[in-house]
Amino acid sequence: MTLFSLTDPGNLIEPIAVVAFDGWVDAGSAATAAAARLAEGSDVIATFQGDLLFDYRARRPTLEIVDGRPSLLSWPELTMRRARIAERDLLIVAGPEPDYRWRELATDMVDLAGRLGVVEWISL
């Protein structure tokens, strides 16, 4: 069993993986801000199982309230998005730093990168 589900990414051109976790490793939110900018207009191609990766006591979902009414419940999520930039594909993995199952996640991410033909890996 893997920690992710993958949709059809289409034809990828020399994909580069860009990985950014928020939390302790993301001083000043520089990594996640850069990843968010790169991911603008991109499509989600993989989602990771948050229920297995995150401690919801430490990372609670947020509730957006509009005009005094609950509007949107957002859970912490780790995703891979595909963006085409300068004739190449970026595969941007971004979200909260996992609390659990690091070894399994690392193995799955390496396997996923191989499956998608990733030629470069950049950790922000």
pLDDT per residue rounded down to tens, the chain (124 residues): 799 999 999 999 999 999 999 987 788 889 999 999 999 999 999 999 999 999 999 999 999 999 999 999 999 999 999 999 889 999 999 999 999 999 999 999 999 999 999 999 999 9
**pTM attached to this predicted model:** 0.90
CATH at 15: 3.40.50.10900
Alpha-carbon distance 63 to 61, whole Å?
7
Number of domains within the chain: 1
Strand pairing report for 16-22 and 120-123 = parallel
Range of the structural domain that residue 98 is part of: 4-123
